[in-house]
A = this chain, B = another copy of it.
Amino acid sequence: MNHLVQRRILPWRTARRTFSSSHHHRTIHPLTSLPPRVSPSYNLRPTATLLSLNWPSPPRNILITKKKRTPGITASLIEYATHLSSTYPSINIILEPSSASELHADLPFPVYTWDEPPWNATPELLSEKTDLVCTLGGDGTILRASSLFSHAATVPPVLSFAMGTIGFLGEWKFNEYKRAFREVYMSGAGDAYANLSFPTPPALPTNTENASSDPLDTPLSYADIRGMSMGSNRTARILLRNRLKVGVFGPDGVRLNNSSSEGDTYALNEVIVHRGSSPHLKIIDVFVGGRFLTEAVADGMIISSPTGSTAYSLSSGGSIVHPLVSSLLLTPICPRSLSFRPLVLPAETPITLRLGEKNRGREVEVSIDGKRLSDGMGVGMEVRVLGEEVRSPTGEWRGGVPSIVRGVEGLEEREEDHWVGGLNALLKFNYPFGDQDGHR
């Protein structure tokens, strides 16, 4: 108990918490009661292609999402959240509504969440409050987490742990979570953190049975931060993944994808137009840069980000495009043509898919990052896409999904390799022929 109070007087605590009593611990709080978001900056590091993460002050509001219906992962979430809560006292844990109601009774600290309905009010609030997103699951979990920010121009950094499944987007192993979080938490602390005033660290519990010898389990003190901020300039490495800005419009030009607001929907992987359960070919007019390119007669069309080039576009025959190549991919799905080769276009080129007259009576389905829009698309409707710009005219990095790239301890200088490594280890790129059993 004392321990918990201690936590509350650490520098980032909120007044509200100071007065919280223990019965609050198992409660669910609304997002509105959280302090405002701390937004990091991203900087190009010399001789490197990844960016470095710099917090102006330590992150406090941490959203943790997980793969659904997987007991092992639920247990990991509890372990992870408990670690954060006990080691980083000022931290607030945000969970998705379903997780919050499932887990809050098991957690010795309060959790924050939002009301599912009315959905349309929530996303803005979430992006105004979240400092950092952590995902436990596979690529699908990352896509779902990113879709929580699909109407936000700025996504918090995302730290992803692959949980038993193949993950091309998230690459941290769960057993690295303490080191991973510390690295992110302290990233760029150098200047900003040094000026903060810290309390005396709490006396540690002396119960040797429970005492961990791992310094990463010790609640963070001023000395720690000071030491780190002085002695180390190791920062988390960020791959800023461009998204697509997607608008869906009716034949009358009225926006359909996002009834509650006027804005576009951001996609991390791709937007797909597909025949769905109709057994017939679809006819889709494709416009590039405002000009008619071609009439696609196909199962469907994919407009993908470079990140999505290893997802559906790959299965449809697209090239693999490095996430740092600023571009959009136009990949047909089963085109009734011998000569429809996938295209890679500049990210700033607007692309439009229009469902022309010839499809009369036939609907198509529109999906963003594997999630179907509730309404199908009929004759005259349009999907309009533009690549997100992740660099402002003044050269500042912003937007995109800032993905925290794994660095193997001691091999940080090879940090840039993760993508190439993933090609080989996960996609079995150019996997060699032959009998590897070698029993000949």
Binding site for B on A (CB under 8 A): 49, 162-166, 173-174, 276-277, 279-280, 288-289, 291, 293-299, 306, 309, 312, 314-322, 324-327, 329, 332-346, 348-349, 365, 367, 370-372, 414, 416-417, 420, 423-435, 437, 439-440
Contact = CB atoms under 8 A, between A and B. Distances in A.
A431 B337 contact: yes
B338 A325 contact: no
B315 A430 contact: no
Contacts of A335: 315, 430
- Each complex incorporates copies of this chain amounting to 4
10 contacts: A49-B289, A164-B440, A293-B420, A293-B424, A298-B315, A322-B346, A327-B327, A337-B339, A337-B430, A339-B431
Contacts of A371: 279
A421 to B, nearest CB: 8
Contact of A344 (B322, B346, B414, B426): B322
A341 B338 contact: yes
Given A288-B420, A289-B417, A334-B315, A339 B294 contact: no
B435 A166 contact: yes
A49 B173 CA distance: 42
A319 B322 contact: no
A428 B432 contact: yes
A339 B162 contact: no
Contact of A162 (B296, B314, B429, B440): B440
A293 B420 CA distance: 6
Contact of A338 (B299, B306, B428, B440): B428
Contacts of A344: 306, 309, 319-322, 325, 327, 344
A425 to B, nearest CB: 6
Contacts of A417: 289, 291
Nearest to A175: B440
B428 A433 contact: yes
Contacts of A416: 289, 291
Contacts of A296: 430
Contacts of A299: 299, 315, 333
Contact of A174 (B280, B324, B325, B440): B440
A332 B429 CA distance: 12
Contact of A343 (B297, B315, B322): B322
Q: Across chains A and B, which 7 residue pairs bring their CB atoms closest together, nearest first?
A: A338-B339, A166-B434, A319-B319, A315-B334, A277-B277, A339-B339, A340-B430
Contacts of A437: 425
A333 B334 contact: yes
Contacts of A333: 299, 334
B337 A432 contact: yes
A371 B293 CA distance: 31
Given A298-B315, A316-B334, A344-B344, 14 more contacts: A166-B435, A276-B277, A277-B277, A289-B420, A291-B414, A294-B424, A297-B432, A314-B338, A325-B326, A325-B344, A339-B428, A340-B429, A426-B433, A426-B434
A343 B298 CA distance: 22
Q: Which of A173, A276, A298 has the most CB of B within 10 A?
A: A276
